[in-house]
Every structure is written in structure tokens, then in C-alpha cells.
Amino acid sequence: MRTAFLVAPEGVEQVELTSPWHALAQTGETPRLVSTARTVQAFNHLDRADVFPADVTVDRASADDFDLLVLPGGVANPDTLRMDATAVAFVRAFFDAGKPVAAICHAPWTLIEADVVRGRTLTSWPSLRTDLRNAGATWVDQQVKICTAGPNTLVTSRKPGDLEAFDEAVLREVGAMA
């Protein structure tokens, strides 16, 4: 399973990047960090955390090269991604190809911009509820929501406190857990 983690150059919530990354890596997976820049400044909420090198920039990446897309949150991360047409097209390509996508916290903002939430049921950080409903989605307040109503499976979660359930759902999606 080839997994892409798409993040902006600044603002990704570090634990929402590293927790699912480590969960997938323990299965033998080698995730790839895809970004709009060559380096990524992660955050612990509002405080700067670690810097990560991107494996590939989104303008050189193709959804064809991956089997799964993970979108970590953080407020600034998806807000920046949704303003980048190449990043939005990369996300949309996973849906067009029927490939699974996982998004946590504020990451569904990028899904809204890609126009892929209509008719889907998902969860997110609570402040996105109205945005998701306005985009045609059904919002639920659950640790993790797996939606199969559409061309692909969509795994969503609300916040860092839900990472254990999110990671388990992602691992089940890739067949690493029963």
C-alpha cells in the first residue's frame, strides 16, 4: 500500500501527521510526505514543532502513484491547501480514481474545496459542521466515521484525542487490522 500524506508547508498539527504515519509504518508501509513546498513546519496547536522534509512536491506527485491519501489537520494546514489549485486537484484525483481518503480535524476544508463531500457523511472539528453541511455533507459528532457512500471510502475523525480510533480505521482500510 502506497500512502501519501498531503500537507501545506506550515501549520500541520504534528500529532495528526505522526500518529497515522507511525501506525502505517509499523505495518511495513513507507508513507510519503507530499507538500506544496520542500519542507514542512509542523505545529503543536499554536507552537512550532518539528520540521519535516517533503518526499515530493504536489506539483510532481500523481494520485496514480498512491493507494491511499491521508490529510492531517491543523487549522492553517487545510486552509492553505484549499487555496492551492494543484493540491486540490491532487485530492480530487483520489476520489475520481475511487481510492480511499482519510482526513482528521480541520482537513475536510480541503475536501470541501475539492467538491467531494456532497452526499457523504463525515465528522471533523466541530467548527467545520456548518461548512460541511453547506457543501452538501451530513456531519456527525463521532470519534471516527467511515463513509462508503460514494466512489471511495472516506475515513474522518474529529481531533487529536480521536487518533487511536482514526489510526485503527485507517489500518483496517488498508487491510492491516481485522
**What pLDDT digit, counting tens, does each position of 24-54 carry?**
999 998 999 999 999 999 999 999 999 999 9
Domain that holds residue 83: 3-173
**What pLDDT digit, counting tens, does each position of 97-149 carry?**
999 999 999 999 999 999 999 999 999 999 999 999 999 999 999 999 999 99
How many structural domains are present in the chain? 1
**What CATH number is associated with residue 71?**
3.40.50.880
The answer to whether residue 128 is domain-embedded is yes
pLDDT of residue 140: 98
d(CA 143, CA 156) in angstroms, rounded, equals: 8
The answer to whether residue 112 is domain-embedded is yes
**What pLDDT digit, counting tens, does each position of 88-99 carry?**
999 999 999 999
- Structure-block grid coordinates of residue 24: 502505517
The answer to whether residue 141 is domain-embedded is yes
The answer to whether residue 24 is domain-embedded is yes
d(CA 46, CA 124) in angstroms, rounded, equals: 19
The answer to whether residue 85 is domain-embedded is yes
The answer to whether residue 178 is domain-embedded is no
Pairing of strands 138-139, 121-122: parallel
Say how many CA atoms lie within 13 Å of 161 toward its Cβ: 5
Residues identified as active-site: 105-106
